[in-house]
Amino acid sequence: MNDKHHDVFASAFEAIKRARDVAQAIVAIKDAYGVDHVTYHMAHMISGNYDQPFVRTTYPDSWVSRYLQHGYVKVDPVVQEGFVRQLPFEWREVTMTDAALVLMQDALAHGLAMNGYSVPIVDKVGRRALFSLNTSMADEDWTAFVSGEAEHLSELGHRLHRLAVFEVYGEHDPVPRIGPRERECLALAAQGKEYTVIAQLLDLSEHTVRAYLKSARLKLDCSNIPQAVGKAVKLRIISL
């Protein structure tokens, strides 16, 4: 947009490249952009024995702890929207339930600011994450700022996500690339639909459906549909 904007982006960008983990990176972004808080939240890891969210934030401990122990993630309208939407949004735009208003009040009491901007991230294997900035900047200034920085923030979000995936899984990402059609077929198979029904629903021939399910099965390294469905659900390629 202009030189100032380019500068903050460039320094944040460099910082991410230097950062060894997401925790460092978000602090660098916070400093570069001069916002109150920065958060990166991966929707889900491929967990074994227990639920384990991947969250890195500059919010104060008291708020993080409170958020976790109150199960606020179920109520938080930013998270709700962020893991459904495709495009970035300002927090002011989201619709608030009563519970969300309570949460917002609580958040203010714990040192969070009113305005925010969140970038939903969806990677090639369908994993979702949310990259959020929180600021006490006045409405107009903030809106002007994010509209100018939208592309940069998207870029930063994706970088952050790559860093996070590396931090969680290391070199080798366990999720194979399943094509959208393959995913759809798999999802419908997981809902108990038969080949013929899936074909009708997706407006394909039964043969094609078979071919998709076969290739999905092979990519998942499975010998039959039940196994493939199980693995797809475990890897959260499909959500049911």
Q: Does 182 bind DNA (CB under 7 A)?
A: yes
Question: How is 10-68 classified by DSSP, letter by letter?
Answer: HHHHHHHHH-SSHHHHHHHHHHHHT-SEEEEEES----SSS---EEEE-S-HHHHHHHH
Under the binding rule (CB under 7 A), the answer on residue 181 touching DNA is yes
Q: How far is the CB of 224 from a second copy (least distance, A)?
A: 5
d(CA 149, CA 156): 10
Q: Of the listed pieces 6-14, 55-63, 205-213, 232-240, which binds DNA according to CB under 7 A?
A: 205-213
d(CA 229, CA 189): 7
- Among 66, 73, 214, 233, which residue interacts with DNA (rule: CB under 7 A)? 214
What part of residues 69-88 is at the interface with a second copy (CB under 8 A)? 69, 71, 73-74, 79-80, 83-84
CA distance 174 to 109: 40
Among 19, 22, 29, 204, binds DNA (CB under 7 A): 204
Interface with DNA includes 207 (CB under 7 A)? yes
> Residue 105 touches which of DNA, a second copy, none (CB < 5 to 8 A by kind)?
none
| Residue 179 beta carbon to DNA: minimum distance, rounded to whole angstroms | 2
- Give the Cα separation of 165 and 175 in Å (integer): 11
Task: Kindly state whether residue 51 participates in binding a second copy, applying the rule CB under 8 A.
Answer: yes
Main-chain phi, psi angles of 111, to 5 degrees: 90, 10
**Which DSSP category does 193 fall into?**
-
Residue 173 contacts residue 73 (beta carbons within 8 Å): no
Interhelix angle 206-219/225-234, nearest 10 degrees? 60
Report the partner that residue 50 touches, choosing among DNA, a second copy, none (CB closer than 5 to 8 A by kind).
a second copy
Does residue 37 touch a second copy according to CB under 8 A? no
The one segment of 66-74, 90-98, 148-156, 198-206 that binds a second copy by CB under 8 A: 66-74
Residue ranges that bind a second copy, judged by CB under 8 A = 23, 41, 43-45, 47-57, 61-62, 64-66, 68-69, 71, 73-74, 79-80, 83-84, 128, 189-192, 194, 222-234, 238-240
